[in-house]
Amino acid sequence: MGALSIRNVRKSYGTTEILKGINIEIEEGEFLILVGPSGCGKSTLLAMIAGLDNITSGEVYIGERKVNDLSPKDRDIAMVFQSYALYPNMTVRQNISFGLEIRKVPKAEQQKIVAQVAQILQMEQLLDRKPSQLSGGQRQRVAMGRAIARNPTLFLFDEPLSNLDAKLRVEMRTEIKLLHKRVGKTIVYVTHDQVEAMTLGDKIAVMKDGEVVQFGTPQQIYDNPVNLFVASFMGSPSMNFIPCRVAVLDGKFGLKMDTGGQTHVFPVEGASSALAAYAGREIIVGIRPEKITHKVDFLAGAPNFYVAETTIEISEPTGADTLLVITINDKNIVCRVHPDYAKSQGERMAFMFDMSKTVYFDPVTELRIL
């Protein structure tokens, strides 16, 4: 049995169903991300794991214990909140030791633990301050310290970084990842930020409307999204979706790409059989921005690599990359190009399409065509 298993968990308030049968299982030491747009039920699920919210039906196991009816304090968990939820009347030291004190840990041991935690998070100098005297990042650190001090079997994080500014968020993200490595405990982490999800998680559960749409490793989810929603939710800038007609060409399938006057047909390698049902019909082709770049001579012409020339509509330099917007099949498409090769707005440029990681979706069901 895993470190945490959620079995067919449902939650409803009256007749409205918030969670519609969630099944997730993770192993000891894994970092699970619950990600999804707001209102998808991810925070409710976390609250149910924590015992702060009742479970309507289904079971939650932490380790071997079924915890459905245990109160939060008996679940051997610790939680870090979005607002940090530091006790404003207590010093950092008291904040960290409060949980230990309630659990009747001897004073001497409390002090030892506080010292250890402070050292891990490098906040020895903050111990005697009140939360109001701390910066956002420092509060975040204390909140984590409070969780670590308890040494629980399961850590819960509820959007812990969303109140921080962009720079600090990246720093703390790294810090959480390091911490996970050091402590090696199982973590459930809720976020709406797909970058956090990708960078932190061992496993990601993408949620929408009270359901887990896809559950897998970050790479699986990035490369093989099960439907249009997951594909568009994960990745920044978002995946391009091009409506394309499937053409049949010498017994092979091809995708018609119209780049403003010029029509290209990109042959499809592999996965061909699945497309048979769609011959002559329109499908949605998903291609990530980084798969449309400037033309690299030695790759052009290789299987799955195709070149098309078109006019640049908009150019958005981000520093590391330049995002170029072009039009294919009357849709704006974002391409990620190395700044050295990017041409300016209004100029024509040859783009190379790497179709090897392209995914196809049914335009009606929005499901992946495999």
Partner 1 sequence: MRRFLANEQFEINCSQAVVMRARRVRISKIEEMVMLASPPSAVDDTVRKPCRLSLSDRIETWLPKIILAPTFVVTLLFIYGFILWTGCLSFTTSRMLPNYEFAGLSQYHALFANERWWVALKNLALFGGLFIAGCLAIGLSLAILLDQKIRGEGFIRSVYLYPMALSFVVTGTAWKWMLNPGLGIEKLVRDFGFHNFTFDWLTNSELSIYTVVIAGVWQSSGFIMAMFLAGLRGVDDSIIKAAQVDGASLPVIYWRIIIPSLRPVFFSAFMILSHIAIKSFDLVMALTGGGPGFSSDTPATFMYTFSFTRNQIGMGAASAMMMLMIVAAVVVPFLYSELRSSRRG
Partner 2 sequence: MADSSNTQTQGSSRFGRYLIYTLLGLVCLYYLMPLFIMLSTSLKTLDDIRTGSLVSLPAHVTFQPWLDAWSKACIGVRCEGMSVYFWNSFRFVVPAVLISTLAGAFNGYVLTLWRFRGSDIFFSALMIGCFIPFQVILLPMARTLGELGIFNTISGLIFVHVVYGVSFTTLFFRNYYVTIPDELVKAARIDGAGFLRIFWRIILPISTPIVVVSIIWQFTQIWNDFLFGVVFSSGDHQPVTVALNNLVNTSTGVIGYNVDMAAAIIAALPTLFIYIVAGKYFVRGLTAGSVKG
Q: Which ranges of 205-363 does DSSP label H, i.e. alpha helix?
A: 218-223, 228-233, 272-275
Residue 136, interface with partner 2 (CB under 8 A)? Answer: no
CB atoms within 10 A of CB 278: 17
CA atoms 329, 36, 335, 247: torsion sign = negative
> Does residue 140 contact residue 172 with C-beta atoms inside 8 Å?
yes
Residue type, 39: G
- Cα gap 111→56, rounded to integer Å: 40
Choosing from 13, 14, 16, 69, the residue that interacts with partner 1 (CB under 8 A) is 69
Choosing from 10, 28, 29, 68, the residue that interacts with partner 1 (CB under 8 A) is 68
CB atoms within 10 A of CB 356: 12
Residue 50 binds which entry of partner 1, partner 2, none, CB below 5-8 Å type-dependent: partner 2
> Under 8 Å CB-to-CB from 340, ≥6 apart: which residues?
none
Choosing from 13, 16, 64, 297, the residue that interacts with partner 1 (CB under 8 A) is 64
Site string for partner 1, 103-142 (x = CB under 8 A): xxx-------------------------------------
Residue 262, interface with partner 1 (CB under 8 A)? Answer: no
> Under 8 Å CB-to-CB from 86, ≥6 apart: which residues?
95, 131, 139, 142, 143, 146
Nearer to partner 1, 79 or 308 (CB): 79
Shortest distance (Å) from residue 88 CB to partner 2: 5
Sheet order of strands, 314-317 included? 314-317, 322-328, 331-337
SS3 of 321, please? coil
Shortest distance (Å) from residue 158 CB to partner 2: 8
Give the binding range for partner 1 (CB under 8 A) out of 14-22, 68-76, 89-97, 186-194. 68-76
Shortest distance (Å) from residue 89 CB to partner 1: 21
Nearer to partner 2, 19 or 96 (CB): 96
Note the residues at the interface with partner 2 (CB under 8 A).
47, 50-52, 71-73, 77-79, 81-90, 98-99, 102-103, 146, 150, 158
Note the residues at the interface with partner 1 (CB under 8 A).
57-59, 64-66, 68-71, 73-74, 76, 103-105
